[in-house]
């Protein structure tokens, strides 16, 4: 039977190398903050309790956690005295919990629930303390995991303290670990700070556990899964790896992409098998795409696109856009909070905001739904099979009836009955010979 699980997520770092007014852990990968990604992983792991350790220097992070998990999920480390001290800050929040605790990090955005699986496998095999490591391409400053002949983890050696032989080891510490809650906090209380920085290091827990004759084991995962982010360059690298993974998933699922390296997904993008995505399409949050064709340089966020629809090129779908089956949204057309019916078309240079376009309707080039009067937004409704001529402005609230026509260049301010023709433009007049007289007058003014 699986033991109960809890998580302590460390999010108290200063993040000074990000050089940003936004706290490090609130930077995003795949459109989701690194902190939320860590919480997502712990929730997927089935953790009954999640405690996020934040610093007093960053109230914004604490507010973010409270908004998602409530006050009980926040533990404050003040002052910051090292990673072991940070985990200890969560002790009171986990008082009375019986089960395993995992220590995770809010700045490892590619760590998902599956990454923790080897830790619990070690726990089930009798490890009292399970540590997660990785084979580093460039071990550099990472702490090295030193294994004994029996495969047990003997100690973690920081790079600055390692011998040349130890520095040659590529098996490095990720910082992720799991242990029984009572044992974990008992060991942490014994960690000292006799080091150059005077800090309490989480890595010292290995020596404490071994001195108590407890079994300490290490498991291995891919380096990218536990990579930390401490700078904008590393954030960009994490985004690159995330995007590569999402592209591979969609290609394997049957989504066609001729140039996948140019397509940018959000963490929650949904695309059906059989969809076609042309180069340089960008997905914001909340996009759900059926078996549609998305043409080049389109941007889609918070929109649903049904089977058979064709979007773009250079189209923008904003939150609330609902594009029906076989509808066409063409180049430089923007749709926001509007429903476009089955087979409807808006192929060129239009803005359709806060409204509805009926089945089979046609929206001409340059058509605008004038939805905002400076105080409130109103709806425009275009009926089924209606035809709105080019360069027309529909001033909301207004309805164009089923089968009605709006003449090109019209400004429509009143409802149009079904099957009627509406013309809302000035009467054309001609002044014969005016152009000739104008040119002659202008020529007479020219300087010699």
Q: Which residues participate in catalysis according to the annotation? A: 348
How far does the chain reach from its first CA to its final CA, in angstroms? 101
Q: Which residues contact 186 (CB under 8 A, 6 or more apart)?
A: none
Q: What is the rounded CA–CA span in Å between residue 224 and residue 237?
A: 10
Determine contact, residues 214/152, Cβ cutoff 8 Å: no
The H or E element that residue 69 is part of is: helix 59-69
95: left (phi over 0), alpha (psi -120 to 50) or beta: beta
Distance (Å) of CA 171 to CA 108, 139, 166, 304, 359: 18, 8, 10, 45, 61
Contact 84, 200 (CB under 8 A): yes
Residue 81 CA to residue 70 CA, distance in Å, equals 25
Burial tier of 207 (Cβ tally within 10 Å: 0-12, 13-18, 19+): middle
Dump the DSSP string for 174-210: EEEEEEEHHHHHHHHTT----STT----GGGHHHHHH
The radius of gyration of the chain from alpha carbons, rounded to an integer in Å, stands at: 31
Helices (H), 74-180: 83-88, 117-124, 164-167
Rounded CA-CA distance 216/192 in Å is 19
> What are the E-state strand segments in 197-331?
216-221, 256-257, 270-271, 276-277, 282-283, 288-289, 293-294, 299-300, 304-305, 310-311, 316-317, 322-323, 328-331
In sequence order, the 6+-apart residues with CB closer than 8 A to the CB of 260 are: 247, 250, 251
């Amino acid at each position: 039977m699986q033991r109960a699980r809890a998580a302590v997520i460390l999010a108290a770092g200063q993040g000074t190398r990000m050089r940003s007014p936004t706290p490090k852990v609130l930077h995003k990968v795949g459109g989701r903050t690194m902190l939320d990604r860590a919480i997502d992983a712990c929730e997927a792991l089935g953790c009954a309790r999640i405690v996020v350790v934040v610093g007093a220097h960053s109230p914004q992070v604490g507010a973010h956690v409270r908004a998602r998990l409530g006050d009980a999920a926040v533990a404050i480390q003040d002052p910051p005295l090292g990673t072991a001290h940070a985990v200890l800050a969560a002790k009171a929040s986990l008082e009375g919990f019986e089960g395993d605790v995992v220590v995770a990090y809010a700045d490892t955005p590619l760590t998902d629930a599956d990454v923790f699986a080897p830790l619990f496998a070690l726990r089930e095999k009798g490890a009292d303390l399970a540590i997660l490591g990785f084979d580093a391409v460039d071990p550099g400053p990472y702490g090295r995991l030193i294994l004994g002949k029996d495969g047990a983890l003997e100690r973690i050696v920081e790079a600055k303290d390692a011998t040349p032989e130890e520095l040659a080891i590529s098996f490095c510490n990720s910082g992720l670990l799991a242990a029984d809650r009572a044992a974990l906090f008992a060991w942490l209380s014994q960690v000292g700070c006799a080091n150059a920085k005077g800090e309490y290091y989480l890595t010292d827990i290995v020596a404490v556990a071994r001195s108590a004759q407890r079994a300490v084991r290490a498991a291995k995962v891919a380096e990218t899964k536990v990579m930390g982010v401490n700078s904008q360059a590393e954030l960009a690298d994490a985004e690159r790896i995330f995007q590569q993974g999402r592209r591979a998933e969609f290609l394997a699922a049957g989504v066609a992409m001729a140039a996948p390296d140019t397509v940018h997904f959000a963490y929650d993008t949904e695309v059906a098998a059989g969809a076609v995505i042309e180069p340089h399409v960008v997905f914001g949050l909340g996009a759900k795409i059926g078996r549609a064709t998305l043409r080049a340089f389109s941007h889609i966020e918070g929109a649903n696109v049904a089977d058979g629809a064709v979007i773009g090129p250079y189209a923008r779908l904003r939150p609330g856009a609902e594009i029906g089956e076989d509808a066409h949204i063409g180049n430089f057309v923007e749709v926001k909070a509007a429903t476009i019916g089955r087979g409807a078309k808006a192929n060129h240079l239009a803005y359709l905001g806060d409204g509805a376009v009926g089945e089979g309707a046609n929206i001409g080039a340059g058509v605008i739904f004038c939805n905002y009067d400076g105080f409130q937004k109103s709806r425009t409704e275009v009926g089924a099979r209606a035809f709105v001529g080019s360069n027309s402005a529909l001033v909301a609230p207004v309805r164009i009836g089923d089968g009605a026509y709006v003449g090109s260049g019209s400004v429509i301010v009143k409802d149009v009955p079904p099957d009627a023709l509406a013309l809302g433009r000035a009467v054309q007049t001609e002044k014969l010979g005016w152009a000739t007289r104008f040119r002659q007058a202008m020529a007479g003014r020219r300087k010699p």
